[in-house]
Structure 1
Amino acid sequence: MALPNSLPPEFDRGVVTTVHQGDCHVSDAADLTYSTVLGSCISACVRDRVAQVGGMNHFLLAEQSGSARDRYGASARYGAFAMEQLINKVLTRGTGKKANLEIKVFGGGKINSALDDVGRKNIEFVRQFLLDEGYVATSEDLGGTYARRVLFKPYSGRAFVKRLDSEIGDNVAREEAAIAKRRIILPAPVDDIELF
């Protein structure tokens, strides 16, 4: 009998790769699990179900400079880049067919009142992005007032979400507030990424 807080068996073995803020990883390895911890950030898990290749990104949509404005608004440019990067990597390594993709999205919690509900804005952004690009999320765990750990198996497409206790959530909130306070602006990508 499994313990209430234990992981499902398929997540309890193999290689675990941590996906940090700003990362985008893609693989077809059957024994690989991607892992991340989210507060107001968003992670998308995208998988080509035919090719059995998938990946995970992790992004925080903090307000950027005026030069970052685009069709998604002042704060979304880097989220749009992260989404396009992940989708394109999966399409390139997979069948190349958008119809074969399954997309799961997680995060967007309101865990720090100082961040002016970045989580809600992130949820609005990712839902609008998927709608604009013609995708439908096959599952999601968004919002709330807690941090969460997300595990994703890119080969099988299985995802596991665990809501974290307030102490861990407080640590995540402090990290996100520090990043937002520094207002880190990532350089624009050299080449535009197009979805195909």
Structure 2
Amino acid sequence: MKRIILNIGELAVSKEAAILETILGSCVAVCLWDEKLRIGGLNHYLLPYEQPNTPKSTVYGATSIETLVKRIIEAGSDVRNLQAQIFGGGSVITDLDNIFNIGVDNVRIAQEKLHEYDIPIVGSHVRATHGIKVVFRTATGEVTVKPLGRVGAHHVSGSESDAFRRQLPPCKACIMCGSCAELTERRRRGKKG
């Protein structure tokens, strides 16, 4: 059986029996499944919306979900036969949680976009305080979620935090967004002093 591991900004749709996997912290994955045709898809996005003056990308929830729905329809599914599950949106990037509600916003955009397509949400595992591993079996629609604990959560939050900072360009208001290396360095020096 084909096994596909998804990273930030990736998505996969399969008409064949496949195992789709990803690891999440504040990122979100939407699982779409057509029980009738046994077609399944999964995405993994970092932020809910594109920032001003940035190109559309599946790193962002709105674009990622639109692309996932489009690809599963292209694979032969009818949107009326789809059901969805939402995973992730955790509170694991603690140094940014007081500035952004990344996980909450990521879950909200998934709910909004699925509502726009009239796709029912039949399950979810969201807002954990640790990383999770999501494994989706397209042949059966079965999804398993495994908590990663402190070590896994730290690894996930570090990689998501780095990816988040790469998506936001440094700006004059870096104290507000916390995206630039200069602010990170100032915070680090402040903790030492």
Q: TM-score range by the shorter chain?
A: 0.7 to 0.9
The aligned residue for residue 173 of structure 2 is none
Could you report, residue by residue, the CA deviation over 1:11-45 in whole angstroms, capped at 9, with x for unpaired residues? xxx44210111111111222x21110000000011
* Partner residue of 2:53 out of 49, 64, 67: 67
Q: CA deviation at 1:126?
A: 1.1
2:60 is the counterpart of 1:78:
yes
Contact preservation (8 Å) 1:69, 1:77 = no
Structure with the greater alpha carbon radius of gyration: 2
Cα distance in 1 for residues equivalent to 2:23 and 2:164: 17
Q: 1:27 to 1:148 in 2, by over 3 A?
A: same
Q: 1:60 to 1:155 in 2, by over 3 A?
A: same
2:39 is the counterpart of 1:57:
no
Q: 1:101 to 1:65 in 2, by over 3 A?
A: closer
Q: CA deviation at 1:78?
A: 2.4
The aligned residue for residue 191 of structure 2 is none
The aligned residue for residue 188 of structure 2 is none
What RMSD, in angstroms, separates the aligned Cα atoms of the two structures? 2.3
Question: Which letter maps to 2:118?
Answer: G
Q: CA deviation at 1:144?
A: 2.0
Could you report, residue by residue, the CA deviation over 1:79-138 in whole angstroms, capped at 9, with x for unpaired residues? 11110111111112123x221111111000000122333111111111122223322211
Q: CA deviation at 1:68?
A: 5.4
Name the structure with the higher helix share: 2
Q: 1:65 to 1:98 in 2, by over 3 A?
A: closer
Cα distance in 1 for residues equivalent to 2:2 and 2:117: 32
The aligned residue for residue 11 of structure 2 is 24
Cα distance in 2 for residues equivalent to 1:162 and 1:82: 23
Q: CA deviation at 1:54?
A: 0.8
Unaligned runs of 5+ in 2: 170-193
* Partner residue of 2:126 out of 120, 142, 157: 142
Q: CA deviation at 1:69?
A: 11
Q: What's the % identity of the aligned pairs?
A: 26
Question: Which letter maps to 1:27?
Answer: S
Q: CA deviation at 1:179?
A: 1.2
Aligned residues: 165
Q: CA deviation at 1:53?
A: 0.9
The aligned residue for residue 75 of structure 2 is 93
* Greater relative CO, 1 or 2 (CA 8 Å, sep 6+): 1
Cα distance in 2 for residues equivalent to 1:118 and 1:136: 23
Contact preservation (8 Å) 2:14, 2:138 = yes
